Each structure stands twice: as structure tokens, then as C-alpha cells.
Structure 1
Amino acid sequence: MPQSNPAVAAHSKSIKIVVVGAGSVGVTTAYALLLSGLAAEIVLIDIDKNRALGEVIDMSHAAHFAQARVRVGEYEDCAGATAVVVTAGVNQKPGQTRLDLIKTNYKVFKSIIPQIAANAPDTILLIATNPVDVLTHAAHRLSGFPVERVIGSGTAMDTTRFRHELGKHFGVNPRNVHAVIIGEHGDSQLPVWSLASIAGMRLKDYASQKGIEYSQDAMDECAKRTRDAAYEIIKKKGKTNYGVASVLVNILKPIITNGDALVTVSRVGTYGGVEDVALSMPCKLNRNGAHQDVPLLLNETEREALRRSAESIREVLDQLEQD
């Protein structure tokens, strides 16, 4: 059922969110946003206007219960948007890595990002198209926006999956697991084991208090299932959409409500000594965008893994700039 929180409702009265891309992720995001009650107006933009119209007509029947307006728009309709969610691009195929997508989706971004920026110079860009870190960097360059207003969904989805896996292993609700995945939203992502906790205790200490054996091999399996989750889902159903849509709405919520929530999202910066790359770290999200206020206290192994993750993205960016 729709969101009924009075504080959220107060914020939503003048909120317009634009979703660019009427594929499975874009449409599911628009629908999840509609039911959340966070926005008064949701605009769907797609090159296939007939498809977008069909989706909007279908969603408008749900809008009867959610009390929000959903419509098809053009890039001019980005004007006044609190945030523009970009999901447009080619989908990842079975056996294909996120980085394989870069050249095709970069061409798409060269077309759409300048149009968004021209019509909504004060909006926040939320990038969901893969490879999300490379394309977050591209969106920053193509829009000319400050880094805090170009946010990639990054490892927010991976962090959610990671907490789910750890919650299953330890038999607790994932909401009570405090653990993050940082770095690339992809194969070089890394779990921050040194800071992971349940009930204020390190995982090993929690296991001891609970009377169960702690196994790093089991932890590594949780991390592996997290990393490979998208590949497994795509192999079975051809796409991912529900989880990422929920995560995108979770990112939008503190932006709309000025909530100062900490979420692992991708932002351009310097990571592990590697300059000018977009990778995920915990950021404070509010109406002004994403802010990296406090650096994580990583151990030496994690710092090195973060550097390698940043270098892998930097290599792709260098190649892209040469082509």
C-alpha cells in the first residue's frame, strides 16, 4: 500500500521525479516510486513513446490509490525535477560483464545527459545504467554538474544483497546487519569485513556469543553470492529489476526528504590514491546530493583492494577517452 508517513507526504506535494528509460528497471522504479508516496508527479521518458504511454496508462490505474500523477514526457519536462533517474541503455545479457556494455551505453548518454542538464540545471542525476561507475563519471562530465549532484546507484544494491546473505547465515533480520560493499559495482567490489557488525559486535564476536562457529570461508561464500547475484538472476530470468528499483527509491527518499541518510552510492572522487574515478563509498544523502563526510577506517588489505578496484575503472575510462 502507498506511503502514509505525514512527514513524507508533506515533502511529496511539490516533488517531480523524472525516469528516463521505460525498460524493466525504469518502469519498476516508476511503479515503486508511485506506491511510495514520495512524489506528486512522475514523468517517464523513452525513445519508444508508444511503449512509455502503455506503461503510464497501466500505472495510472495504480495512481488512483497512490494519489500521484504519472505521465509520458519529453526532455523539456525535466525542468523543475528534484531528481532525474537514468535507466536508459542496453541491458546486460547472460555471460556479459557490466564493463562490456560501456561503449554502447556511453553513446546513449552522450545523447541524453546534455538534454537533461540543459532543461534541469539544478536537478540531481541518479544513474542506474550499467556499468554504473563508468557512466556516473560520464554523466558528471557530460552534464557539467558538481560531483555531489551526480550519483550512481553503485553498490547500494550489493550492500543490500550482502546484508541479506549475512542475515541468512547468522539468522537475523538483514536490517540488523551493519556491513557494506564498496568499490566498483561489479567484479572488483569488496566487502568491508573489518567494520561489519551485528548488535554492535564484530561478526566473529557475535558468532561466539551466539555459540556458533565463525568461518571466514563461509563469509567469503556470502560475499561471492553477493557479487554473482546479478549474473545468477540474469541467467534465470534475463534481467534484474525489483531489487534495484527498491534501492533507487531508497536513494531518492533522503534526497526528497532531506534525510541525511548514509547509503553506499557511487560518486566521482579520489579512491585509493586513484584520481577522477567514480566508485561507491558510504555517502550522506540529502536535498543537495551525495556527500562523503567521513572516510571509512579501512585496514591495509581493504585499502589495497579499493585501490585495485579504482584502477580497474580508471583503465576503462582511459580506454574510453582514447576511442
Structure 2
Amino acid sequence: MKKTSNKVVLVGAGAVGTSFMYSAINQGIASEYVLIDAFPQAAQGNALDLADTMAVLPQPFTSIKAGDYSDCKDADVIVITAGRPQKDGETRLDMVAGNAVIMKSIGEEIKKSGFKGITVIASNPVDVLTLVYQEVTGFDQHKVIGSGTTLDSARLRRLLAEKLNVGAESVDAFLAGEHGDSSVAVWSRASVMGQPISKYISDGVIKQADLDKIREEAVHMAYKIIELKRATFYGIGVCLTRIVKAVLRNERATLMVGAKLNGEYGNKDLFTGVPAIIGENGWEKIIEWDLTKDEQKLFNESCTTLSAAISKAREAIKK
């Protein structure tokens, strides 16, 4: 990775992509930005709109423009959000075939550019499409990161914080597995300011039934938002910024990203949400928690669900 100015390329200048870009430029994580979209006018219009912030930002960037896949060659990070959006009442896995074909096309173009950096993917179903991209490109698995359950876990933290009447930043709580309906709440690792959530249960502050309800609400939050305003984008935009910043600044931060399992947690050959160390080389190591028996069972079921969707995606891109 080059060590001069940081360059980020966005593929997919829709609501999710531009929310990421707006968050990224406000946090000053890079110097150069490029937007690529199947509709060039959308990329150009958003680039011009975002460029209007340059004169007033506390950490201004150097350049932002609409571009094409040739701009990927010297990028440090590519963020992919392209694909059709989730419809009201539709699960993320319902989108697999069509978006797998789109991801294959994108991956082939990026590989052709000579890109050597890190790719961060948020296109849905993200776990499946991250694997499609990695297999199509042949890129080092550690250099391909799915957004995983970063957003899901942020939702869980917020809801638990509201229940306990504390700040969300004081809460550590995690959803693992699929970014979707089968994700697993790892309550055995949840804590507030270092105090395990089990202590709050034993003290009568919160009940397991409350935690189950919070998990359900977090997992189905996207459906609620889509019903109300047709799409979700601000939360994932900020989560993508968090991941990309960890890469560009070599933070070695631990985040719930989509990393490829190679036997960790008893599963393999798929990307899914797990705790991993993130730095300039991508996801560097998966952290293996000792899950409870029930958590492991639910995680295995989530992986089985993803494996079935992966088969559909592979079938779709063969046609």
C-alpha cells in the first residue's frame, strides 16, 4: 500500500455509497476520492455535490471526482455498495442471484485495473457477495472485507444502552454470523463498562427475555427502517467509514467484520460476521471466542443458511 496520500474509490453512488462518502469526508479519512457508478451522471452529480464541502471542512480533502475502473489501479481502498436495494418485506438473501451477477462484473473490472489494495464490501447479501467477489478476483482473502455484522452490533449496542439507560459507547455487545435474520447475539461476551451482562441479569436489572427482545429488534431494524423510509443508509455509511479508517490508519482495531472462515468457529469456506483485527493488510486475524453451546449451535445454523445462499450465487454467475 502506498504511503503518500490515501485514495478511496467508491463503486456504487447510491444512497449507501454516498452516505459512506459523506461520512468519510467529514471524518477526514482520505485525501482523494473517486465515485464509480453504472449511471455516470449519478457519480458526477454526487461528486460535484460533495466537492462543495471542501472549503468549509475542518479536514479538507484534495480531490473528489467521478471516474471509471482505471482509477482503481492505485487506490488504497475500494468500497463496493453497488447492487439493487432491498425491497419492503424482502430478506437480504432474496437478493442473491441478481446481485451476484452484478458483483461478478464489478470484480472482473477491478481485477483488470491492476488493483492491489483492500476491498470493503457492503452490497447485499453482503456475506455471500463478499465471497463471490473474492472468488471471482482471486484476491488474497485477507484483503477482502465484508461489512459483516458491524452495523448489526451497533444496533444491538444502542438498544441495550437505551434499556440500561447508559451511553451506547459504554456498551460492548455483538451480533455474529449472517448480516441478516440468522445472526447470533453473543451475550456471553456482552458487557457494560467491563461488567458482564450476566451480572445485570443476576442483579435483576435486566431479564433474559429483555435481551431476546433486543436481539429481535436489532436483527429486524432494517425492515422497520425500510418500511418507514424505503431504505437504510446512514448507519451503514458510518460503519463503512469506521472499517476503512481502521485500514488506512493501520489501527489494528477489533471489529465485527465479514472475514473468511477457514475452520474458525468450526466452519469454513464462507465470509461472515466475526471479531477480527483490522489494519493496513485488511483483516489480519479472526479472534475466536469460546461460545456457549447454544451460541455455537445458532452460529452453525447461520453458516448453513449462508452456504445454501452461496450455492445459489455460484449457480447464478455460471449462467
TM-score (norm 1): 0.92
Structure 2 counterpart of 1:65: 56
Q: Structure 2: how far apart are the matches of 1:77 and 1:322?
A: 30
Q: Structure 2: how far apart are the matches of 1:192 and 1:199?
A: 17
Extract unaligned runs of 5+ from structure 1.
1-10
Q: Structure 1: how far apart are the matches of 2:297 and 2:4?
A: 46
1:176 to 161, 167, 170: 170
Q: Does 1:315 align with 2:303?
A: no
Q: Does 1:219 align with 2:202?
A: no
Q: Structure 2: how far apart are the matches of 1:26 and 1:114?
A: 20
Residue 13 of structure 1: how far off its partner (Å): 5.8
1:47 to 35, 38, 53: 38
Structure 2 counterpart of 1:114: 108
Q: Does 1:294 align with 2:287?
A: yes
Structure 2 counterpart of 1:124: 118
What amino acid sits opposite 2:30 in the alignment?
A
Residue 294 of structure 1: how far off its partner (Å): 2.9
Structure 2 counterpart of 1:243: 235
Structure 2 counterpart of 1:104: 98
What amino acid sits opposite 2:313 in the alignment?
L
Q: Is the 8 A contact 1:13 1:40 kept in 2?
A: no
Q: Structure 2: how far apart are the matches of 1:199 and 1:320?
A: 42
Structure 2 counterpart of 1:31: 22
What amino acid sits opposite 2:49 in the alignment?
D
Q: Structure 2: how far apart are the matches of 1:306 and 1:34?
A: 36
Residue 213 of structure 1: how far off its partner (Å): 3.2
**Residue range with higher mean Cα deviation, 298-307 or 127-136:** 298-307
Structure 1 counterpart of 2:140: 146
Q: For residues 120 and 63 of structure 1, do their structure 2 counterparts lie closer, same or farther at Cα, with a shift above 3 Å needed?
A: farther
Per-residue CA distance 1:84-139 (angstroms, 9 max, x = gap): 00001000000011001111111111111111122243111100000000001101
Residue 214 of structure 1: how far off its partner (Å): 2.4
Q: Is the 8 A contact 1:204 1:214 kept in 2?
A: no
Q: Is the 8 A contact 1:263 1:285 kept in 2?
A: yes
Residue 321 of structure 1: how far off its partner (Å): 2.8
Structure 2 counterpart of 1:6: none
What amino acid sits opposite 1:134 in the alignment?
V
What amino acid sits opposite 1:73 in the alignment?
G
Q: Does 1:229 align with 2:221?
A: yes
Q: Structure 1: how far apart are the matches of 2:244 and 2:312?
A: 32
SS in 2 for 1:43: strand
Q: Structure 2: how far apart are the matches of 1:229 and 1:12?
A: 39
SS in 2 for 1:22: coil
SS in 2 for 1:154: coil
Q: Structure 2: how far apart are the matches of 1:207 and 1:300?
A: 19
Q: Is the 8 A contact 1:127 1:151 kept in 2?
A: yes
What amino acid sits opposite 1:261 in the alignment?
A
SS in 2 for 1:145: coil
Residue 203 of structure 1: how far off its partner (Å): 1.4
**Residue range with higher mean Cα deviation, 198-207 or 16-25:** 198-207
TM-score (norm 2): 0.94
Residue 322 of structure 1: how far off its partner (Å): 3.7
Q: RMSD value over aligned CA atoms?
A: 1.6
Per-residue CA distance 1:54-104 (angstroms, 9 max, x = gap): 111111111222321110010000111111000010000000110011111
Q: Is the 8 A contact 2:277 2:287 kept in 1?
A: no
Aligned length: 311
Q: Structure 1: how far apart are the matches of 2:253 and 2:286?
A: 12
- Larger RCO: 1 or 2 (CA < 8 Å, sep 6+): 2
